[in-house]
Homo-oligomer: A and B are copies of this chain.
Amino acid sequence: MNNNPIGVFDSGIGGLTVAREIVKQLPHESIIYLGDTARVPYGTRSKEIVIKFALELANFLLRRKVKSLVVACNTISAVALDKIKNISPVPILDVIAPAVKKGVRATKNKRIGVIGTSGTIQSGAYALQIKKIDPRIKVFSVSCPLFVPLAEEGLHKHQATRLIAKDYLDELVRLKIDTLILGCTHYPLLYDTITEILGPKVTLIDSAQPTIESLKKVLEEKGLISENNNPTYEFYVTDAPGRVYQVTRRFFGSKLKGKIKKVSLGD
């Protein structure tokens, strides 16, 4: 048993969809969430700068005695995971490996689509991991850079979003994928729009659920499960304009208790 909190971090607030899944699957666990809202988005930045920023985020949480780290950002998972593993004494879960495993299990025609930010797609991390499990699977990757700002502005059901999504996804329809991995923690908000374009036969794989299933397994194996009946949730961001509060509700649901605190990194 270990009642220390789980550290969850993201470039911004999209990772709250992952934190929400911890609350659902592991209701006795305390959480410290850190979102780098002063420097979001990471998806269009270089590998080098994402690694620099990611290590600052991980160090912040490690100093706060978290018992495990959840990298709730696909871009960070895609380009900085090894570097974070190098500095972390606690178990690390990323959002890519669990989604890959679930996707590989789900596909019947061996044609998987992956969507994500430019950084995630350019890294090739998904294709690489899928092919390591089953080299016969064909992977088709498309970057969807406007999905994050559209989701954050609450336009995920807007006709404009539908048009942009059609531009991004039409090729995947033509390529007859039967499984689509949502390679960004913001994308679950676009679930309905994506389903509308791909049709009901394509299985959508969201990272949050399989990631937290993996986390649960790791915590159980290592005897780190909490039995705390009053878990605490702390939220830190590196910049806190009014909109963070507003947008946070959209991603974490109504369960967000307590204040969002602002912290400085990299000074």
Contacts and interface: CB of A to CB of B under 8 A. Distances in A.
Interface in A42-79: 44-46, 48-49
The interface centre, meaning the residue of A49, A159, A161, A238 with most chain B CB atoms within 10 A of its CB, is A49
A155 B150 contact: no
B38 A49 contact: yes
Contacts of A91: none
Contacts of A90: none
Interface string A88-123: 000000000000000000000000000000110000
A149 B145 contact: yes
Contact of A159 (B150, B163, B241, B266): B163
A221 interface: no
Interface of A: 37-39, 44-46, 48-49, 118-119, 145-146, 149-150, 153, 155, 158-161, 163-164, 167, 238-241, 243, 266-267
The 4 closest A-B pairs by CB, nearest first: A160-B160, A160-B163, A149-B149, A46-B241
